[in-house]
Every structure is written in C-alpha cells, then in structure tokens.
Amino acid sequence: MDYSSCISTSLDLNIRPLRVRDEAPKREPQESNFMDLGLNTSAKEETGALVEELNRVSAENKKLTQMLTVMCENYNTLRSQVMDYMSKNAEKEFSPSKKRKSDSSNNIGDNNVNMLTNGASESSSTDEDSSKKPREEKITAKISRLYVRTEASDTGLIVKDGYQWRKYGQKVTRDNPCPRAYFKCSFAPSCPVKKKVQRSAEDQAVLVATYEGEHNHPTQTDETSGSSRCMAIGSVPCSTSLNSSGPTITLDLTKSKSPIVSPSNNNNNNNTSNNSNNSDINKIIPKAKTESPEIQRFLVEQMASSLTKDPSFTAALAAAISGKIFHQSPPGKW
DNA sequence: CGGTTTTGACCCGCGC
DNA sequence: GCGCGGGTCAAAACCG
C-alpha cells in the first residue's frame, strides 16, 4: 500500500482560483478585474463584490475542510488495516524468547509499543560520559518501538523519523540473521537518544526501530524551517509560504511523536544522514498510539477553525488577494 | 577536511 | 569461572 498515492498531506490553498469568474458572468466581462471594479463601479458594488469574494473564500474553506476530513478518515481506515496486519506479526515477534533481563524489564514484549517509561530520570551525563561509566547505570529512559515497512529490495536500515542519526555499530544477533544497526542522535551532541534498527526476522521488509530515551531538542525540520513561517494549528504543525503562484499552506502531518508504522515503500535511497526531510512524507502509521476517530475529527475541526481564525492565515489570504489585484492591475491605480 | 560509515575488538551482564 | 551474546568503542575507510 502506498499511502502517498492516495493521501496527500500537502494542502495547497492556492488563492489563484479565487478570481471572480462564474459568479457574475453577466455583470462583468471576463477581462474585468478588481481594478476595473474600482474605477467603473460604485463603491457599493465594489463592497458587494468584496463581500461576495469573502463568501466565496469561506465556501472554499469549508470545502477544503471537508476534503481534509475525508482524507483523515481514509488515513484512519488504512491505518487500522495496517495495524491489524502488524499486530499479527508482532504477536509472533514478541513472543518471550529473550533471555536477557534487560529486555524483559523494559516491557517491550507485551505488544504494547507505546512510549514506555521507566521513570525517565534522564541523567545529565552525555554519551561520552556514559561510555566511560560502568554499565550498571542502566538507561532508565523511554523506550519505544517502531515498525517501518520498506521495499523488499531495500537493504538499508534507514528509518526516517525527523532526527539525524549517526551509526556507531552493527551487530548480527543470534535470533535474527539480519544485522542490527546502532544509532546515536547526532543532531544535538548532548542528546541521549539511541536507536536500534533491525529487520524483522519474519518479514524482512519490515524494519524494527527501537528508541531509547527522549530527545532534548526539536526535530531538525523544526529548527531549519525558518525560511517559511511555521505555526501550529492545534497540535498539527504547518507552514505557510508565499511563492509566485500565491500563498501555499502546507500541513505537516508527519510530526507524530508516537511510534509509527509505515506499511509501504519508502526510506530507501537516502544516505544515513537521512531522516531530516519530513516533506517526503513517511506514510507513517502509528503502531500503538491509536488516536480515536473522535480525536482525529476534533483535530481536523480544530485545524479548520484555526485556519479561519488565525490572523496569520487571514493576513496571508489578504496578502494573496491584494497581490493578485496588484498583479492584474497596472501600478498606480490604487 | 570534517563528518559519517564500516568493522573488528573489546567490555560487561547473564546463565550455566 | 567460563562462555555466550548484546552493546559499544575506535581506527580506518569513505564521502561530499
């Protein structure tokens, strides 16, 4: 299943089609624009046209909201299907075959791959410190597991999750012929998070990534996206940008903090500095943290409501409209 | 040249 | 105490 083919998380709210076209074809010829309105009609008609335009924008907003709702519903449906599939695999995979105490103490085998906490008393020591300290200082950090389906031909151990990782080791373990790769978070030097990535023994197209610890820094995309304005709509980050074709609002639905599962191909062809590009959506499906449809719907409504109420959005909208007007009219007429 | 990857060696906990 | 196995180190190779 390739989610990218049916779900696009890029919501292009291009304002271009908002020009007066079908609404009042009789009143004004196709060539007329706002400048003509301003010159040839009374102020009242101009106001009426603007109101009409506003209504049109509102209607379009509603339509987009509905589209977004449908998109999220499709997303949920597909996700539940994948989760069913993955849970079947997980039941086998997490059967208690592990001997090591540390594994069992981390509760990974209970099929619940939510962020599991063991007290999370994150020590202030860095990795350099911990590497020199005796190992009895066990990592008491959050542990989560993540499943990522890749192409069968993809032999890499790359899991895109928005962070930058540095591989520091690889080992072939006993119960799995596929090597396990060890990564440290390299985006922040003091970040204690480690990641283990190994292909599933049952289904080698599935990558199993185990995360230990919590990041003490934002994702790289959070920090480097300064070129475009970023704002959070509810809990969903998005960004707006003004380009030649008008303002574009992009909803970034990839920044889920929960363990995720990708049911389809991705993650190949990226060198291991990887992971930083969330615009290439991961087509990710939460494995354990399953938000209910009600929550999803609430988020959608919140996003739509925020879009219509957010001054940034309205400002961008106003800028787009005025830009359009300026673009269509000779300079100096305003 | 600096950052990343590779890979053999080493460390250490655990079971016997 | 010994061996096994997972986790980490660190030097060399690689890469942009």
- pLDDT greater than 60 at residue A29: no
Most confident of A181-185, A233-237, A273-277, A318-322: A181-185
- Tokens of residue A138, six digits: 């066990």
Q: Is the CB of A267 under 7 A from strand B?
A: no
Condensed to tens digits (0 to 9), the pLDDT of residues A15-26 reads 444 443 443 343
Which of A97 and A39 is assigned the larger pLDDT? A39
**Integer Cα distance of A261 and A89 in angstroms:** 12
- Report the DSSP pairing between strands A179-185 and A165-172: antiparallel
Q: What is the pLDDT of residue A307?
A: 56
Condensed to tens digits (0 to 9), the pLDDT of residues A46-76 reads 788 888 888 888 888 888 777 777 776 776 6
**Integer Cα distance of A205 and A1 in angstroms:** 13
**Integer Cα distance of A286 and A295 in angstroms:** 14
Q: Straight-line distance from CA A17 to C1' B1, in Å?
A: 51
Structure letter (DSSP) for residue A148: E
Q: Is the CB of A166 under 7 A from strand C?
A: no
- Tokens of residue A243, six digits: 């380009």
- pLDDT greater than 60 at residue A138: no
Q: Which positions on chain B have an atom < 7 Å from some protein CB?
A: 3-9, 12-15
Which of A210 and A6 is assigned the larger pLDDT? A210
Which of A57 and A153 is assigned the larger pLDDT? A57
Condensed to tens digits (0 to 9), the pLDDT of residues A240-288 reads 333 333 333 333 333 333 333 433 333 333 333 333 333 333 333 333 3
The residue that minimises its CA distance to C1' of C4 is A174
Condensed to tens digits (0 to 9), the pLDDT of residues A84-130 reads 655 555 444 433 333 333 333 333 333 333 333 333 333 333 333 33
**Integer Cα distance of A268 and A152 in angstroms:** 10
Shortest CA distance to A254 belongs to which of A229, A220, A228, A288? A220
* Nucleotide of closest approach to A157 (CA, C1'): B5
* Nucleotide of closest approach to A135 (CA, C1'): B12
Condensed to tens digits (0 to 9), the pLDDT of residues A161-215 reads 777 888 888 888 877 888 888 888 877 767 778 888 888 877 777 888 888 877 7
Q: Is the CB of A135 under 7 A from strand B?
A: yes
Q: Is A59 left (phi over 0), alpha (psi -120 to 50) or beta?
A: alpha
Q: What is the pLDDT of residue A121?
A: 34
Q: Is the CB of A130 under 7 A from strand C?
A: yes
Q: Straight-line distance from CA A166 to C1' B2, in Å?
A: 14
Q: Is the CB of A326 under 7 A from strand C?
A: no
Q: Is the CB of A180 under 7 A from strand C?
A: yes
Q: Is the CB of A168 under 7 A from strand C?
A: yes
Q: What is the pLDDT of residue A86?
A: 56
User: What is the reported pTM?
Assistant: 0.42
- Tokens of residue A148, six digits: 């990522």
Which of A205 and A326 is assigned the larger pLDDT? A205
